[in-house]
Structures are given as C-alpha cells and as structure tokens.
C-alpha cells in the first residue's frame, strides 16, 4: 500500500488545496463516488489537523451557510467520539436491540474469505474492497453500501466488518468506524440502513452495474419496500400487524 505523507505540513497543504479548490461543490456532490470530498480524514484522525482548524478554514473561505454541510459532517465525528467516551469498551457491543427485528442467531461471526479478497463476483463490492486494500481508502457512500451488504444481505455481525475496516483504513478510528457500522446495522439508529441497485448505480454513474456478472440477478435489485420485506420479514410483519 502506498501511504501518503503524514504530518501537519502535509495536512495543511491538503486543507489549503481543498478550500481554494472545489470545496464549494462539497454539499452537492459528496455522495457521488467521483464527487468532491476533502480526503482529510487520515490527518484529522492522527491529530495532524485539528477538526476545529479544518472547520475554521472552510467557514472562513465559504461562509457559514455554504460550509454548513461540511461542518455537520465534522459534527458527526465529534458526536461519535463523545458517544465513545460514554460507552467505552461497550462500543464493541450492540448499543441497542437491533432495529431489524431479526434475531442475533441469524448472523455469522466472520467475514467469508471471498468478501475479504474482493472475489465475490459483485463488481461494486469487489471494487470497494480492492480500493480499500490497495490504498486504505473507501468513499463514505461505498462504506455505507458495503456495510449494509455485509450486515443485511450476508447476515454477518457488524463487528466482523468493523474489524476488517479497522485493519485497512488509513483513517481507522474506532469511534467513527464502530458507531457508523452500528448505525447501518440498526443497533444505534431507529432504522437499519439499506440501499438498492438504482441508488448505487446513480451515485456511481453506472460504473459497476453494466459489466457485472450478477447484472441479471443482482441482490440489490428491487424497491425499498421489496428489499425490506426480504431482509427484515419480522419487522415488516410487525409494522403491518402491530
């Protein structure tokens, strides 16, 4: 893996490049895989950049209103860290009963070898893993899709996925990582996070689906209602017949 230069000088140079460059596109394009994001998380993670310094530089350049989305994302980081201070080692346990309605016994403990090797045949997920392993990075939206696939489609405990991320991410941070996995899993949110093929195709600009081996048999195909009924049958039954 090629590790970028660390340290405050490098971090500040990258921050300057972001604020003087395309920071204004952030709110509108941050969910697109090829959209504008800062890429600053490893420097923030290791304290080479203080989150407050990053916030102040972006607000000074763009003004409070235009910088609001970016500042709110930094706010998530701050929030996850405050929760970590509260829960300590319990960050490895489900913080709430799962919002999926599924019993814990349905979920496996380990990530299968083909998932970790990026050899499942699903072009999107395999590409995310290849990028993660080669560069230590993964776009936020890809992290959400991958985590959702692992927990809700493959029915693997979120802890297995969280450990896999912590082993590879350059910005690996137990608070942001574990609590984001719990948010996706529905053990620290009121609703499990899922997506469908159209959503992934839209934000990846069709980059994966066209040549995918599973194009005609995609596990993510369907409306959100159909996918929820398939993935969380007990929850859907409970909502229909309270």
DSSP string, 96-127: S--TT---GGGSBSS--HHHHTT-SS-HHHHH
Among 107, 149, 164, 165, binds ligand FAD (CB under 6 A): 165
Contact region with ligand FAD (CB under 6 A), list: 9-17, 38-46, 91-99, 222-230 = 38-46
Among 102, 120, 159, 177, binds ligand FAD (CB under 6 A): 177
Residue 144 touching ligand FAD (CB under 6 A): yes
Residue 143 touching ligand FAD (CB under 6 A): yes
Using CB under 6 A as the criterion, what x/- string covers residues 103-132 for binding ligand FAD?
Answer: ------------------------------
CB of 156 to ligand FAD, least distance (A): 13
**Helices 68-87 and 51-62: angle between axes, nearest 10 degrees:** 160
Residue 45 touching ligand FAD (CB under 6 A): yes
Among 172, 212, 218, 236, binds ligand FAD (CB under 6 A): 172
Length of the chain measured in residues = 242
Q: Which pairs count as long-range contacts for 231-238, CB under 8 Å and 24+ apart, including other chains?
A: 231/100, 231/152, 231/153, 231/192, 231/194, 232/100, 232/101, 232/102, 232/152, 232/192, 233/101, 234/101, 234/102, 235/99, 235/100, 235/101, 235/102, 236/101, 238/101
CB of 230 to ligand FAD, least distance (A): 22
Query: What is the rounded (10 degree) CA torsion for 229, 235, 239, 242?
Result: 140
Residue 232 touching ligand FAD (CB under 6 A): no
Residue 140 touching ligand FAD (CB under 6 A): yes
Could you count the other beta carbons within 10 Å of the beta carbon of residue 82? 11
Q: Which of residues 69-88 bind ligand FAD (CB under 6 A)?
A: 73-74, 76-77, 80
| Site for ligand FAD, rule CB under 6 A | 30, 37-41, 44-45, 73-74, 76-77, 80, 140, 143-144, 147, 165, 169, 171-173, 176-177, 180-181, 184
């Amino acid at each position: 893996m090629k590790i970028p230069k660390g340290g405050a000088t490098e971090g500040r140079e990258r921050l300057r490049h972001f604020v003087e460059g395309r920071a204004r596109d952030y709110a509108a394009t941050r969910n697109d895989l090829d959209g504008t994001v800062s890429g600053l998380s490893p420097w923030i993670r290791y304290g080479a950049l203080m989150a407050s310094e990053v916030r102040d530089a972006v607000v000074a350049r763009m003004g409070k209103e235009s910088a609001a989305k970016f500042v709110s994302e930094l706010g998530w980081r701050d929030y996850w860290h405050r929760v970590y201070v509260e829960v300590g080692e319990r960050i490895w346990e489900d913080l709430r009963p799962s919002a999926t309605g599924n019993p814990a016994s349905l979920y496996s403990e380990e990530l299968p070898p083909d998932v970790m090797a990026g050899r499942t045949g699903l072009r999107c997920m395999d590409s995310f893993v290849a990028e993660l392993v080669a560069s230590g990075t993964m776009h936020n939206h890809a992290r959400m899709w991958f985590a959702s696939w692992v927990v809700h489609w493959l029915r693997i405990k979120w802890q297995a996925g969280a450990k896999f991320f912590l082993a590879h991410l350059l910005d690996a941070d137990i608070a942001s990582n574990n609590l984001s996995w719990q948010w996706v899993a529905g053990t620290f949110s009121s609703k499990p996070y899922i997506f469908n093929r159209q959503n992934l195709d839209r934000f990846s600009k069709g980059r994966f689906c066209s040549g995918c081996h599973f194009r005609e048999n995609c596990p993510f195909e369907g409306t959100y209602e159909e996918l929820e009924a398939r993935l969380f049958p007990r929850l859907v039954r409970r909502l229909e017949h309270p």
